[in-house]
Every structure is written in C-alpha cells, then in structure tokens.
Amino acid sequence: MTRRSSILVTGLAVLAFSSLPLHSTVLDAETAALCAAVEPKVVEWRRDFHQHPELSNREFKTAAKIARHLEALGMPVETGVAHTGVVAVLEGGKPGPVVLLRADIDGLPVTERNDLPYASSEVGVYNDQEVGVMHACGHDTHIAILLGVAEVLTARRETLAGTVKFIFQPAEEGAPAGEEGGAELMVKEGVLTDPDVDAAFALHIDAFLEVGHIGYRPGGIWASADDYKITVKGRQSHGGYPWMGIDPIVTSAQIINALQTIVSRNVALVESAAVVTIGSIHGGVRSNIVPEQVEMVGTIRALDPAVRLEIHQRIRTIAKGVAESMGATVEVQIPLSTSYPVTYNDAELTAQMLPALQEAAGTDNVHLIPAETGAEDFSFISQEVPGFYFTLGGRPSTTPREETADHHTPDFIIDDSGLGVGVRALTAVTLAYLELHDH
C-alpha cells in the first residue's frame, strides 16, 4: 500500500467510525458528579507535584506519593517499575477488556521564573551539574489528572465491565546517560501484560491550546525522533597547503547542504512532514591546520514510519557518496542515543473515542489539530497496542497565544482550572472503550 492510499484509508476509517454511537452516555449523572467532586483535589495534587519536581529516574518522592494515593483507593500497587514507575490495576465488577491509562511523572533541569506560591525551588544533579528542577512540560498535571481518574473509576468499580491499568511512567524526558528508562523500559519489563492490554490512552497538557479545549489527530500525531552522528575522516594538512590533505570540513559542508535535499526532494510533504537537522559540528583546533576529522550530530523527525526509514537510508547514502567524491571516508551512526517511534493514533480507535471527548469537553471545544514534530515516548506503547493520545488545553483564555511561554522554558505556566476537563476526558474514553468492546 502506498503512503497516499494509506492516508486515504485512514481518512475513510475516521469517517466510517466517527458516527458510531455509544450505547449510552458515558458521563452519566453519577460519573459527572464524581468528576466534579475530585477536581479540587486534582488541582491541589497538581500544585504539590509542581512545587516538588524530580528529574528522570530520580522521581522517588513523587512515586511514593502516587503509590500512597493509589493504595488508599484499595488497588494493588507495584512500585519500582522501570526504576521509579508505579503501576496499579483496577478490576471491574464484570469481565471485559483491559485499558491502560498512562501519565509521565518526571521534571526537567529548568529553573522556574514564575511568581507562584507553589513555584519550584528544587535543585538536582544533571550531567554532573547542579541544576534547578521544574515541571516545565506539565507532567505534574498529567499525574494529578490520572490520580483523579483513578478515584472516579474506583468509585464505579462494581459497574465497570473490564480492567483499568494505571501506569505512572518515569523518564519520559529521557533517562540519564548510561541508564535505561521511560516507556520503552516499562514495555520491556512487561507493563502491557498480566493482564494483557487491549488499548492505551494518554493526554498531554498544551500551553498554547486554550483551557477547556482538546486536540486530537488520527495517525501520526507526534514525530519519531532519532539522533545521529556523522564522522567525516580526511587527511590532516597545513592550512596554507590544503592540497596536501583531504579536507573533512569542506566535505562536511557539502554533506550538510546535500542533507537538506532529503526533505525537500525525497519526502512527499503534502502527505507527511519531516525534519533533518544538524545541531552540532566540531572539527579542528587552529586556523592554519586542516583537521583529520569532523564530527556532526543532529536529529531526524518523521510522522510516518516508512518515511522515517527512508530518511535514515538517504542520510547514509548521501554522506557516503559525498565523502567518496571528495576523497574522504565517513561513518554514520543512526541512532546515536535516542530513538523514539512515531506516536501513532490508531484510526479506528480515535474515531470511536471522538464522541466521548466531545461529551467530556463539548463538541465545539474538540478540534482536529496538526501533527507535531516533537516526540513522545508513549509511542513505545502505541506501537504495541492500539493507542490514542490527545492534548488538553492549558492556556488561560485571557492570555494571547503569541504571549504564551513554550514548554521546556522557565516561564512555562498552566491554568489548572481546566484540569477537570482532563479528568472527564480520560474517564470518558475509558468508559466508552469498555462499553464498545464489552466481551
């Protein structure tokens, strides 16, 4: 199947399944009341987690708080999963499918600048340096929302036709050097089994999307991410006599220019975006010495798994061909240290869940959004089981979008008045899936 026909099929699937009715309103009066009752707690929990963030694979206090909340709800709780992850399983009163709900729990090495009563003043160690620590990507909101959903669904345990697995995942931002972590390690350790997961859901707060709104997209919603390294080897010479050597700097410049043709000439941009970036280049120590080698590192982003593989091959082909034409040799390493798949929303699952999102937030507040070239390690889960990943608005309605601070910055800020929408949304898609797939 070509990429064009694949996209057409995806679109037809959305049209076909988006009209599938739920058997009943999933957020009935009782469930809606439970969601409303837990919302103040969710805000309180979020602010506590925000004030006390921890870095990837070091979320010890965070995990302990999460475990205490889940144990108080009467669920069996497993800790120490993928270093500091927490997993709890809620068995409903009736048999049915297994739904996984995921929240990431780590903060970032960022020093907060916001003037908030619950601003972070925590410090940690990152790459052997003391750094400020901040929930600068909103994982604190994800934790609090999922704890709220756990409380709501626990109260409905007897009426649930199925099982819900709550996973609180460390190291989404990447494990420290020399360590494994994140969703990849959780999957490796068996988080999708015992019981076997049928579908997985997660959300991400969006500082640019207005509070109360939800964004979704079938297919690739967040890009794959692969870092890579190109080492160009020439022959060292005096800078005044460059013809006596083979210049790896000039060769590298030609390779960089040629790499830009991959996206512009090899990727069908009307179907799927991609990025090939060189972020660092290093070679030489003096103005009058042509060095022996140059090292370049960069990142590759793609929204289609086939395009991802094609880019990898084109980088290798171009680097080798250009280097040989200049008399140099080249080594290409893909990936270098990071390799995330495309975060892919199953088309049928997305369409089936759309009515639940519309019920949770209001039809006019649920939007089809463009794909992102950022990456997310929920992708390791959604490549194994059907997954649905959506975004939740966190921008105050009084703040213009152009004045909003980006994620991963010291001024990143979220309006937590919209967290209740997140609780309703995750609750709604869970109940909708259990209802539609009731065995």
Q: Hey, what domains does the chain have and what are their CATH numbers? A: 14-223+342-436 (3.40.630.10), 224-333 (3.30.70.360)
Residues 6+ apart with CB under 8 A from 115: none
Start-to-end C-alpha separation, the chain: 32
**Of 317, 353, 402, 251, residue with least CA distance to 20:** 353
pLDDT(436) > 50 = yes
pLDDT(21) > 60 = no
Q: pTM value?
A: 0.91
pLDDT(358) > 50 = yes
So what's the pLDDT on residue 75?
97
So what's the pLDDT on residue 24?
54
H/E stretch holding 43 reads: helix 29-51
The model's pLDDT over 172-213, given as tens digits with 9 standing for 90+, comes to 999 998 999 999 999 999 999 999 999 999 999 999 999 999
So what's the pLDDT on residue 438?
80
So what's the pLDDT on residue 25?
85
> What is the spatial distance between Cα 12 and Cα 17, in angstroms, rounded to a whole number?
9
pLDDT(16) > 60 = no
So what's the pLDDT on residue 278?
98
pLDDT(22) > 60 = no
pLDDT(225) > 90 = yes
pLDDT(6) > 80 = no
So what's the pLDDT on residue 439?
62
pLDDT(18) > 80 = no
> What is the spatial distance between Cα 163 and Cα 177, in angstroms, rounded to a whole number?
36
pLDDT(15) > 50 = no
Distance from CA of residue 354 to its chain's centroid? Answer: 20
